[in-house]
Each structure stands twice: as C-alpha cells, then as structure tokens.
Amino acid sequence: MRKILAILLLVTLVFALTGCGTVLDFLRRPTGTVTGYVTDSRGGEGLEGAAVSGIGFETETNAEGYFEVDIWSGYDFDLLIEKEGYGSAIIQGLNLEEDEVVEFNVPCRPAFSSTMSKVPMNIEIEGLEEGDELGEVVTFTVTTEGDNALYGLYGFFNNENIGFESEIYTELDEAEINWDTTLYPNGPGYLLLHAYDLMGNLTIYRILVDIDNEEVHADEPEDAPFLMTYSMTWGMNPRFHAEERAERFEEFGITEDPFVITLPHGIEFDIRSAPEGAALYNVIIWDLVAGATGYSVYRSFDGTDFHKIADIVGDDAYFDFCAQLAVGKETYYKVIPYNSKGEGTASAEISTTPLPPFNVYLEGPADGAVDVSLSPTFTWTHDGNFAEDVEITHSIWLFEATWWKIWEEDVIDEEEIVFPAVLEPLAVYSWDIFGSRADIDYYDEADGLSFAISFAGERDGSKNGEFIFTTGE
C-alpha cells in the first residue's frame, strides 16, 4: 500500500509541475499486456511463485510459471523477475503499443553463489534502433555492463533458439555484430538478446525492426522439404540455456487434478511440459532444397491453426523449447522454404507427442550382497508410465573390481536377465544400467518421419546405482 501511495504522490507532483492533465487522465492511459513463462533453465519445469514487478505493478507466477501484467503503453518499463535460489531476470526497456500483447520466455538459471550480486546486467545497443528499416548487412554493437562478469550473449531473430547464423558471443563486454538481413524474409520482426552473467542473472532485450531487401530470385523454391520431427524427454533437467515452459491447464477443461489428463488408451500423463526435475523439447529437422535462402518453421497444437515460430538461416534444424509443449500433447509442425521472392512449397504437416520422463532403479544383486551366484540374475525396475506400444531398452554393464567392463547387453521390454557365463568365485563385481530409453514411432512415410524418445535420467546410469557384490564359492 505504501508503494502505491508513493507512486500516486510522485505522479501527482509530476503532473502539477508539468500541467499535463490530471492524475486520473494518466491512470486511464491505454495499456499493453506482457505475458510469459518463467522456467528452470530452458525446457525445465515452470517456477511457481516467482515475483514479477515493475513501476506500478507486482504479481507472481502460477503453478505453470505463467504470469500476466498490464503496463502503460508509450513508456519504457523494466520487468524484474525474482525467485529464491535462482539468478534474477529483467526484461529491459519494454515499450508496448495500445492493446499490444507480447509473450516472453524467461529461463532462469540456478544462482551460482549466495555472495554474488543478483542485479542483472544492462544492455546497450549502438547502430540499431526500435523500428529501423533494415537491408543488406547491418552492423551494430552490443555492450553489457553489470556487477558480475558476462557469461554469454545470445542473439535471436524471429525465434528463441538460433540467431546470427548460430554465433554465440561469450566473455565479451562489447560485441560487434554483422547481421546479413538478406538471408531473412522481408517484413516486420523482432531481435531478441539474452545476456547471462556468471551469477546466472539474465537480461532480456527486445527490438522491433522491419526488413526490406530487393528481390534477387526469379522464383520461389519449388521442392517441398522432407520433414522429421521428434520429441526428447529427459528424466533429469540438464538445465539448458535460454527458453520456455508449460501451458495453463484451463485450456484442457480439467476440473479435478489440474496437472493430470487421461488419454483414450487409459494412460495418465502429467500435462506440465516438463514435470518437476525433468526437461523436454521437440526437434524439427528438414532436407535443404534448391533455391532456398532460409526456412520458416510453423507450429500448431490442433493440426489446423499454424503459427510461424522461427525463420532459420544456415541450418536444417530447430529445437522447440516452447512452454506449451507437454507430455502426452500432440504438436504439429511444417517447414516452408523461402527466398527473396517469397515462400515456396510447404513440407508435410507432421506431429510428435512427448513421452513421460522416467528413471531406472537397480534391485538385485543388491548393493553389498555376498555369496551371489556365479551366474546371477540381474533385476531392475523403472517408474515410467508408458503405453503398450512404447519400446523400452536398457543396457546392462558388468565390471570387475578394477572397473574393467566384462559384459554389456541390451535388454528390450524386460527388467531382468541371467548372466550368460560363469563369474569367478569369491570375486568382487559391480553392475549398473546405462542409457535406458523409451521409444515410439509415430510416422514413417516418403514425405517425413516422426518419433519420440525418453531418456532415463541423463543417460549416465540408474538412479540408485552402481551396485557392488561378491560372488560365492
């Protein structure tokens, strides 16, 4: 309340001195809306209870990491995002038009140290301004300044993941960037900068620009690219740098448990794009076609309403960390090649559906077991909840006491295996399960391919292993 009164007193004083109407006129000013998802790194779980604040407003993220605030249009605002245990984030110098709605993805990193500053860096740009009409090669300078040293500066255009022909500028307080705009389609777009410091604090800076280059191609690309889409789920969060989270559950019309849906085949899935401690993303890969300078990636959640999510130059892949991805939620993609003449023939529209995360737990021979059979039966289990048509592969490794691997075997859709030889008596061995994964194929035709993979943990072994045992006589 004191904060609000202080703001009102300040506004009253300003208007009294400037003669710019009444306080009520100011408070009735048109607004724009800022929405976003705050996540544990890129592709991780939504962070509930993160504080989102600025001059005249304060809110918190919900269970999905989602927030929504209205800000006065025509003014520069900073939005500060804070969450205990994580570096702070700031959306710097945001200026919205009346009724404009923008969405940001705020991937917060775990705080590196309790003694380092949690004040994010400040970004300054020279040679590029909001609303500039750009053509040919544009050179501009990005300068970062803050209490902590710069970890990395990431640049994106019209997407969240790939920018400046995949260059990443690290450990440079000042970076000169030469940006070839002829590789991108004409029209309005946005430049997005992410600057992380060594503490894990994040600064987000957004500039709207308009690309206008001459046509140098006589025709649009003719061939439709072959398209491959697949989902990747990780049982542990690898803490990727830079983007999105999960969709609000109201859209599913759920009235009971807001985070669980039951699919037609009876399997229950958590709808949060990455359940707690896990991470997921979708990958889109296409064949390069003649006459194309770039590729526009489109996404749909209903197979009908497609929206462009990226313009990709110099690459044949896009990693989608969108906050609206979810376990068990089908997502559709198509890719359209383009050049200066316009868009060419679209690929097939192909979907993929992320699998649940899971982890593997060793059972026997138990850790510390003695008098174990010379031809032991190895058993384990997992906590995944998969449909019957999902194939699960485990790779069992057996080592001598010197960590010399003496046996490796892939086991499909089973949770036990008998050692096919005879071990030495009264000897020490260790065993573990590595690289467990769940796979399912969705589509395999001449125009495309689709599948999903879920890796247990981070592919580096079971959750509770390794187990060491001693054989009997």
Q: Please check whether residue 63 is in contact with residue 50, taking contact to mean a CB–CB distance below 8 angstroms.
A: no
Which one of 352, 379, 395 terminates a domain?
352
pLDDT at 158 (0 to 100): 74
Which carries the bigger pLDDT value, residue 461 or residue 371? Answer: 371
Spatial CB neighbours of 207, under 8 Å, sequence gap ≥ 6: 125, 128, 129, 130, 190, 191
Closest CA to 348 of 446, 246, 249, 456: 446
pTM (two decimals) = 0.72
Asked if residue 389 has pLDDT above 70, the reply is yes
Examine the domain organization and report whether 318 and 183 are in the same domain.
Answer: no
Other Cβ atoms closer than 10 A to 85 = 10
Task: Kindly report the number of other CB atoms within 10 A of residue 14's CB atom.
Answer: 12
User: Could you say which of 166, 187, 211 is where a domain stops?
Assistant: 211
> How many whole angstroms separate alpha carbon 226 and alpha carbon 286?
5
**Shared-domain flag, residues 126 and 248:** no
Quote the domain boundaries for residue 282: 227-352
Query: Residue 273 has what DSSP assignment?
Result: S
Residue with the larger pLDDT of the pair 402 and 47: 47
Overall residue count recorded for the chain in this entry: 473
Work out the percent of the chain whose per-residue pLDDT is above 70.
81
Q: Where are the alpha helices (DSSP H) in 73-225?
A: none
Q: Is residue 31 part of a domain?
A: yes
DSSP 72: E
For residue 280, how far is the Cα from the chain centroid?
7
pLDDT tens by residue, 235-274: 765 554 433 323 333 333 434 443 343 433 344 433 344 5
Same domain, 328 and 411: no
Q: In this structure, how many other beta carbons lie within 10 angstroms of the beta carbon of residue 66?
A: 19
The pLDDT tens digits for 221-230 are 888 899 999 9
Backbone φ and ψ for 8, nearest 5 degrees, come out as -65, -40
Alpha carbon 217 to its chain's center: 35
pLDDT band at 393 (very low <50, low <70, confident <90, very high): very high
For the chain, the domain total comes to 3
Query: Would you say residue 221 lies in a domain?
Result: no
Mean pLDDT computed over 97-124: 88
Which of these three, 177, 211, 245, is where a domain ends?
A: 211
CA distance linking residue 281 with residue 232, whole number of Å: 6
What CATH code is carried by the domain that includes residue 366?
Answer: 2.60.40
Helix (H, G, I), strand (E, B) or coil at 26: helix
Q: What is the CATH number of the domain that holds 167?
A: 2.60.40.1120
Supply φ then ψ for residue 317, to 5 degrees: -150, 155
